[in-house]
Structure 1
């Protein structure tokens, strides 16, 4: 008869140890999942940051190209006006 309560006690202890191990393993799995999620979020943020940097660089380059084109256009317009003015002066010279 004494063996039966002792056996029940050992079974209860084994069951408690099993449940404790299961709980610990579950907590470890949850921690690994959370760590993977955190790593994934960091990677996504890094990719977003790189994309934004790339887009900003592209916009700056486009602005510089637009500025350069504007300056070229202004120089070209100035040259055309100068040529027209010279042509007018030449025409006036020949008239007088």
Structure 2
């Protein structure tokens, strides 16, 4: 197992259509015996919108929260994670300038 414990802050990769390539912040509720974790998302809600979504995830879909890095500029072709729509999305800088 990846060594996460209950209470650890993590990010979970979602591979469903419309979410592919994104990571969402979550808290580990409990490690599971079979290569996974029971987690609670910080921003995703259940279908009835009444509570935070909890689910089992495989250890290959979970990563530690990366450290905050202060960056003042990016260059074309830099690989970045951008926070949008309540999740982190992997992207690439394609140009410089303001739009």
Superposed pair shares fold, TM > 0.5: no
Q: Which has the larger radius of gyration?
A: 1
Query: Which has the larger share of helix?
Result: 1
TM-score by length of 1: 0.13
Q: Which has the higher contact order (CA 8 A, sep 6+)?
A: 2
Query: Which has the larger share of strand?
Result: 2
TM-score by length of 2: 0.12
